[in-house]
Structure 1
Amino acid sequence: MVLSSTAGKWKGRVHMVEHLGNDTLVHLETVIGPLIVRAGREAAALPRDEVFATPDEKMLHVFKNGRRVSA
């Protein structure tokens, strides 16, 4: 998933940022629901920032009613 401050597929607001060594988890509130984005350690998002998330379609996992469905 790529985060951008200017453009992307899903617009969201950063709810929380977790720095976990080599990765950073960015929790977003979006119009499609909550998203958790696994970003690199260089992710510069801060709570309340407005960002855009664009998925890598090959890495996308979609769930409905607790079961994985095709992307």
Structure 2
Amino acid sequence: MKIIIFEGNERFSCDYCGKDYNNLNTLRTHKYQDCRKFKTHVCSHCHTYFTRKYDMKKHIMKKHADSTLLTNTNVH
């Protein structure tokens, strides 16, 4: 994390993508929900990245239900 002072206001910058925020908690949320560095779960159907395995499973069931049934993909 890098702290930037811009026009007298403290900003917090993401070390991975460079986005900056007014609030440290907002930066932390970004890191664990938005920043691709932390998106380690990948949909095998469309290669979309997810932070949480649970979100990837929901995505697969919603977006690829037909493909999942046809290919018998394990989504446990």
Shorter-chain TM-score: what band?
under 0.3
TM-score by length of 2: 0.27
Structure having greater relative contact order (Cα 8 Å, sep ≥ 6): 1
TM-score by length of 1: 0.28
